[in-house]
Amino acid sequence: MNSTMNRLPVSTWNPLGVNYAPASAALPGVPAGGWAKAAALSPALPAGVIAPTEADFAHFAESGMGTEADSWLAENANLVNHLAVSGTADAPVVFETKLDADHPHALTYLTVDAAAGSSLTVVQVVRGDAENGVSANLTRIRAAENAHVILVQVQLLGNQARRWNAVAIEEATSARVEQVRIELGGAVTACGTRAVLDHNKCEYDLDAVYFGSGSDVLDFNDVSVHTGKDTLCEMHTAGVLTGHASKILRGTVDFQRGAKRGVGHESEDVLLFSPNARNRTAPLILCGEEEVEGQHAASVGRLDENKLYYLRSRGLSEAQARRLMVDARFAPAIDKIPLADLQDEVRENVAGRLNDELDG
Amino acid sequence: MSSPLLEVKDLQVVVGEENKVLLDGLNLTVNAGETHVLMGHNGAGKSTLMSALMGDPRYTVTRGQIIFRGQDITHETADVRARAGMFLSFQTPEEIPGITLESFLRTAAGAVTGKPVKVMKFRHEMAAQMEALNMDPSYADRYLNVGFSGGEKKKAEILQLLMLKPALALLDETDSGLDVDAVKTVASGIKAYHNADNALIIITHNAKILEGLQVDYVHVLDDARIVRTGDGSLVNEIIEEGFTALKEDEAK
C-alpha cells in the first residue's frame, strides 16, 4: 500500500525514482495478532497546557506523506494524545517512547491545538530497538494567530526498527511553527512534513538531520505551501550517509497565487562517507505568484580535505576532525533541543554511529 | 649544547600527479629561542616549505628528513606534528561553520596537550588574549572564521598560537592583508608568544611584523632551495633592493 507516499508535488522524470517513496519504505503491514500494546504516554503538562481526550482535526491538511498515509497512521495509532495550549507554556511537553521486545510497536498520533498568542514546545523522543519494530508517528499542529509552536523530534532507534514520521501544519496569521527533526537510526526512515501557510505573515522553519548507514533506506518529503502574503519558510537539512545507505530528500517551496512577498529558502548538505552510499536530492520551487523569493541549495560530497587538514594541523586526529565536522553540520538542529541531557544524548548517539563508521 | 628544535635535511618535496619538484635539497636548522625569516619571490617555495613542515597531505616528501625535537616526523600526519609542538598560521585560514572559535580552540587545546581543558581558566585566558589582540569578545562565540574579515582571521590565527603555545610557530604571511594598526597588534602578539624555549619561522615581505623581534637568520629561497642565509640586516637589504639585485650580487 501507499505506493505514492511522500509524493513530490509535481512529478519529474520517473526513471529518476524520486517521485514518491520506494516500495522498501512503504508503511508496514498490520501483524496477524494486531499491534502490540504500548505503554501510555502521560507527559507532565506545564501551566496553560491541557490534554483533552478528544480533538477535532477531522478536516485537517495532509502531511508531507500524503492523505492515505495520514489516515493509516491515525487509524493504526496505539498511542493517541491531544494537547491544547493557551498562554505561554514555561516548559516543554516531552513524549518519550521506547521500543523493546515487549513493546515493539509505537504508533503515535498527536494533535497540538495552539490558541491565539500561545507558545509551546513539544519534544518527541523515540529510542530502543526491536526485531520488526515499528515507530510510526502522525503529528498535526494547528497554530492560531500569533501562536508559536516548536516541535522537536528525536529518533534514536537501533538498526532493526523501521520508522515513519508524518507532520501536518496549519498556521493562522503571524503564527510560527519551528520543527527540529533528528532521525539517526532505523533500517527504514520515511518522513514527510507539509506546512500550509495560507494566512499572512506566518512562518515555518525546519532544521533536520539524518544519519544513514548499512543498508538503510531514508525517504523525506517536506513541503511548504504559501498562499498568504509575507510568508516565510526556512527548510534546512544536513545528513551523513555511509555504507550502502540510500536516501531521497524532496524539498518543495510552493508559492501559490496570492503569496505576495513570500520567501522560501531550502538547503541540504550531505556528507558521503562511502562510495556505495546513494544520495538523491530533489529541490523544487513552484512559483504561481510573481513577487516571491525562493532559493534552494544542495551540497553533496566528501569532507573538504582542506578543512580536514586545517583541523588536523591543530592536533585533532582524523577521526576527531571528522566528528567535529559532522557535529558542525548537525549543530544548528541539536542546539535547538531544549533539554541539555537530550542534546548530550543526541551528540553521543551521533558520535557512536561515527565511531562505528570510522572504526570500520 | 642541546639538540636543535628542528632539522631539515636534504628535503625534496613534490606535488601533483606529475610529481613537480617544489623543494630540492633544502637544509635548515632551527634552535629554541631563534627567529628565522624566509624570503623569496612569489613561487620560490616558501609556503611549500611551511606546508611540508606541517604535513600538508597535498605535498609528498620524496627525499630527506624532517627532525623535530629529536623525532623523525618526515612522514607523520599534521595532527602528530601539532601534538609534537608544531603550529602553522595559515595564509588563508579555513572557515568552519557550526563550530565556534572558543569550542574549536578548547578542542584543539585538549588535543595538543592530551589533557582535559579546565573551561573557566581557559575562557579567562582566551578573553585576556583576545583583548590584547583587540578582538571583539563576541568572536569567541562566532563560527570559526565564518564572516571574519581578513584581519580578524589573521588575529584568530595568532590567538590560536597564543593559546596552544607550540614549540615551533610557522607564520605564513600572517601580515598580508592587514592594515598598519593590525600589523602592530599581530606583531605584539607574536612577541608575547616568543621566548627562549620556542622558535619562529616567518614568511613575510614586510619588516613591520618583525618589529620587536630579534631576527637571528634570514633565508632566501630560490629555485627550490635556500640560496642565501644572513642575519637580520638582510631583511631590509631585500626590501630596499629586491631579489633581483641580490641575485646579481651573488652572480658577481
Shortest Cα distance, chain B CAs vs residue A78, angstroms: 39
pLDDT for the residue A359: 65
Q: Do A321 and B79 touch (CB under 8 A)?
A: yes
Domain membership of residue A80 (yes or no) is yes
Nearest to A328 among B97, B108, B164 (CB): B97
Question: A45 in helix, strand or coil?
Answer: coil
Q: Is residue A267 within 8 angstroms of chain B, CB to CB?
A: no
For residues A179 and A193, give the distance between their C-alpha atoms in angstroms, rounded to a whole number: 9
Q: Is residue A200 part of a domain?
A: yes
CB spacing of A328 vs B99 below 8 angstroms:
yes
8 Å CB contact between B209 and B174: yes
Evaluate whether residue B238 is within a structural domain: yes
Q: Tell me the pLDDT of chain A (360 aa) as tens digits.
A: 546 899 999 998 888 899 999 999 999 999 999 999 888 888 999 999 999 999 999 899 999 999 999 999 999 999 999 999 999 999 999 999 999 999 999 999 999 999 999 999 999 999 999 999 999 999 999 999 999 999 999 999 999 999 999 999 999 999 999 999 999 999 999 999 999 999 999 999 999 999 999 999 999 999 999 999 999 999 999 999 999 999 999 999 999 999 999 999 999 999 998 999 999 999 999 999 999 999 999 888 888 889 999 999 999 998 889 888 888 889 889 999 999 999 999 999 998 898 887 665
pLDDT of B7 strictly over 60: yes
3-state secondary structure (DSSP) of residue B233: helix
pLDDT of residue B118: 93
Helices vs strands, H then E, count in chain A: 4, 17
- Closest residue of A to B95, CA-based? A307
Give CA separation, B203 vs A96, B126, B176, in Å. 58, 26, 10
Half-sphere exposure of A120 (CA within 13 A, CB side): 29
What's the burial of A214, exposed, middle or buried (CB within 10 Å: 0-12/13-18/19+)?
exposed
> How many structural domains are present in chain B?
1
Q: Which percentage of chain B shows pLDDT scores above 90?
A: 79
Residue B100 domain-assigned?
Answer: no
B166 touches chain A (CB under 8 A): no
Domain of residue B64, residue span: 6-93+168-251
* CB-based contact, B116 to chain A, within 8 Å: no
CB of B88 within 8 Å of any CB in chain A?
Answer: yes
pLDDT (tens digit, 9 = 90+) per residue, B27-52? 999 999 999 999 998 889 999 999 99
Contacting residues for A72 by C-beta, under 8 A, at least 6 apart: A1, A2, A27
| Confidence at B251, pLDDT banded by 50, 70, 90 | low
Distance CA A11, CA A212 (A): 25
Answer yes or no: do B78 and A309 touch at CB < 8 A. Answer: yes
Q: Are B164 and A312 within 8 A, CB to CB?
A: no
DSSP for residue B43: T
Q: Which residue of chain A has the CA closest to B55?
A: A313
Q: Which residue of B has its CA nearest to A333?
A: B98
Residues A81-108, buried b or exposed e (16+ Cβ, 10 A)? bbbbbbeebeebbbbebbbeeebbbbbb
Q: Is residue A99 part of a domain?
A: yes
> Rounded to a whole number, what is the distance in Å from the CA of A331 to chain B's nearest CA?
6
Average pLDDT, chain B: 93
Q: Give the best residue of A271, A299, A305, A314 to mutate against chain B (max B CB count within 10 A).
A: A314
Q: Exposed e or buried b for every residue in A40-61, given b needs 16+ CB within 10 A?
A: ebebeebebbeeeeebebeebb
Is B55 in contact with A313 (Cβ distance < 8 A)?
yes
What pLDDT score does B250 carry? 66
Phi, psi (degrees; rounded to nearest 5) at B131? -65, -40
Q: What distance in Å separates the CA atoms of residue A123 and residue A337, rounded to the nearest whole number? A: 8
B107/A320 touch (CB, cutoff 8 Å), yes or no: yes
Closest CA to A36 of A87, A86, A105: A105
Task: Identify all chain B residues contacting A314, using CB atoms and an 8 Å cutoff.
Answer: 79, 82, 104, 108, 111-112, 160, 164
A56 part of a folded domain: yes
A328 with B83: Cβ contact below 8 A: no
Which residues of B are less than 8 Å from A307 in CB distance? 94, 96
Write the pLDDT tens digit of every residue in B185-196.
999 999 999 999
Indicate the DSSP class of residue A88: B
Establish if B1 belongs to a structural domain.
no
Number of structural domains found in chain A:
1
- Cell numbers given for A94: 516531552
| Residue A89, all three cell numbers | 507554556
Which helix (H) or strand (E) is A76 found in, with range?
helix A67-76
Q: How far is B90 from chain A (nearest CA, A)?
A: 8
Sheet holding A134-143, edge to edge: A49-50, A79-85, A105-114, A134-143, A162-171, A188-197, A217-226, A246-255, A278-287
Chain A contact for B220, CB < 8 A?
no
Instruction: Give a yes or no: residue B11 inside a domain.
Output: yes
In a domain, B216, yes or no: yes
Q: Which of A64, A181, A171 is nearest to A125 (CA)?
A: A181
Within an 8 Å CB–CB cutoff, is residue B87 touching chain A? yes
Residue A316 lies in a domain: no
Radius of gyration of chain A from its Cα atoms, rounded to whole angstroms:
20
User: What CATH number does residue B75 fall under?
Assistant: 3.40.50.300
Residue B185, domain member (yes or no): yes
Domain limits for position A103: 14-302
Please answer yes or no on whether B111 and A324 come within 8 Å at the CB atom: no
- Domain assignment of residue B188, yes or no: yes
What H or E segment, with its residue span, contains residue A356?
Answer: helix A340-358
> Is A314 inside any structural domain?
no
The predicted structure's pLDDT at residue B242: 79
Q: Which of B78, B93, B111 lies at the smallest CB-CB distance from A320?
A: B111
Residues on chain A touching B97 (C-beta within 8 angstroms): 328
**Measured between CB atoms, does B108 come within 8 Å of chain A?**
yes
ipTM, two decimals: 0.95
Mutate to test the interface with B, among A207, A309, A313, A329 (most CBs of B within 10 A): A313
Among all chains, which residue has been given the C-alpha cell 623581534?
A: B213
Torsion of CA A311, A316, A320, A326, to 10 degrees: -10
User: Which of B56, B82, B98 minimises the CB distance to A315?
Assistant: B82
Contact A314 B111 (CB under 8 A): yes
Q: Are A2 and A69 in contact (CB under 8 A)?
A: yes
Residue of A207, A240, A311 to mutate, interface with B, max B Cβ within 10 Å = A311
- Asked, for residue A7, whether it belongs to a domain, the answer is no
> Does any CB of chain A come closer than 8 Å to the CB of residue B159?
no
Which of B50, B79, B80 should be substituted to probe chain A, the one whose Cβ sees the most A Cβ atoms within 10 Å?
B79
Contacts of B56 in chain A (CB under 8 A): 309
Is residue B45 one of the residues assigned to a domain? yes
